[in-house]
Structure 1
Amino acid sequence: MVTVALPNTWVYALRLPHDPRAARVARMTVRAALQGHGMHEFLDVVELLTSELVTNTYRHTKGPASLRLTALGDGRLRVGVWDSHPRIPAPFSKRPDDRVPPAPADADNGRGLHLVQQYADSWGGWPLADDLRGRGAGKLLWFEVGGGG
């Protein structure tokens, strides 16, 4: 009899209300999931980048958001954040070899998405299909860490 071992894959999904505390809830969820699965080496980076993306959903949209953590089984972890706004910001809207310049030192914001290109191994984003009434369904931004990327 042949036994097939499933790869170390798992998925966590979390729906986040439009609430200023959503980034904190997302960080706590990331920390619990990664610690529980022994992925300590990614913890700080994933927590930081997730917090930045979820904060942007609160700041730039009026609706809920969703967070999805996916262990891909080959040492990679993918984090996706959905929100209801269709615009895909740089660097997610650019090719990975296109770089977004850092925010000026005296700027109050604008550093979060630059951090993604500095610390994630890969990233991307796409608009989600229109619903039956012709309205956009928002966008999904994602990044990956691990796997030697």
Structure 2
Amino acid sequence: MVTVAPPDTWTYALRLPHDPRAARVARVTVRAALHGHGMAETLEVVELLTSELVANAYRHTRGPASLRLTALGDGRLRVGVWDSSPHVPAPFDEPPGVRVPPAPVGAEGGRGLLLVRECASSWGGWSFGGGLLGRGAGKLLWFEV
């Protein structure tokens, strides 16, 4: 019997409808992919941060979103969420190292992307228009662990 080692680089992509259950679908997908590739040690943080990005895509846009998980081959995992709004939100509109004030006490939102900045090893966002990636205008927010 021949055994084949799984590749150390892989990508999963998932198109998510504009639906309040999209964050749950994204978490289930992340859980399955990371367990399947022996990366369960990063599961909790990746699930949380992915859920934040997908929930923001649902909350702040009216269209579908896309989730992309990419193992970069050196133990790093990149997660990207595309949505139809070209607006890159704070704190992702600030470069790394710039201190962003926390959400006011009692505010109902404003903490999710700060969590991503604090918990991910790197992160970023791009706004684009036209036919980039075949999706039309929008933005891509991403993080790595």
TM over 0.5: same fold? yes
What is residue 34 of structure 2 aligned with on the other side?
34
> What is residue 23 of structure 1 aligned with on the other side?
23
Q: Helix, strand or coil: the match of 2:45?
A: helix
* Post-superposition offset of 1:128: 2.1
1:128 aligns to 2:128 (yes or no): yes
**1:63 has 2:70 as partner:** no
Alignment partner, residue 142 of structure 1:
142
Tell me which moved more, 97-106 or 82-91.
Answer: 97-106
Unaligned runs of 5+ residues in structure 1 are none
Q: Which runs of 5+ in 2 are unaligned?
A: none
Could you tell me which residue of structure 2 aligns to residue 101 of structure 1?
101
- TM-score of the aligned structures, taking structure 1 as reference length: 0.87
Give the secondary structure class of the aligned counterpart of 2:29: helix
Counterpart of 2:11 in structure 1 is 11
Name the CA distance, whole Å, in 2 between partners of 1:82 and 1:99.
25
Count residues with an aligned counterpart: 139
Equivalent position amino acid for 2:127 in 1: P
Kindly indicate whether the alpha-carbon contact (under 8 Å) linking 1:123 and 1:142 is maintained by their aligned counterparts in 2. yes
Measure how far apart 1:7 and its partner are: 5.5
Check conservation: 1:101, 1:114, Cα contact below 8 A. no
Is the contact between residue 99 and residue 117 of structure 1 (CA under 8 Å) also seen in structure 2? Answer: no
How high is the sequence identity, in percent, across the aligned residues?
Answer: 76
Read off the aligned partner of 2:11 and give its amino acid letter.
V
Conservation of the 8 A alpha-carbon contact between 2:27 and 2:47: yes
- Structure 1 SS opposite 2:125: strand
The answer (yes or no) to whether the contact 1:124–1:141 under 8 Å persists in 2 is: yes
Amino acid at match of 1:93: D
Task: Report the CA distance between 1:99 and its aligned residue.
Answer: 2.4
Q: Which residue of 1 aligns with 2:54?
A: 54
Determine if contact 1:53/1:81 at 8 Å carries over to the other structure.
yes
In the superposition, the TM-score normalised over structure 2's length comes to: 0.90
List aligned pairs for 1:68-107, cutoff 5 A. Answer: 68-107=68-107
Question: 2-side partners of 1:101 and 1:60: how far apart?
Answer: 21
Post-superposition CA distance 1:59-107 (Å, at most 9, x none) = 0000000000000001100000000000001222211111222212311
Aligned-residue RMSD, C-alpha? 1.9
- Runs of at least 4 residues off by over 6 Å: none
Say which is worse superposed, 95-104 or 18-27, in terms of deviation: 95-104
- In the alignment, the residues of structure 1 paired with residue 105 and residue 92 of structure 2 have an alpha-carbon distance, to the nearest angstrom, of 22
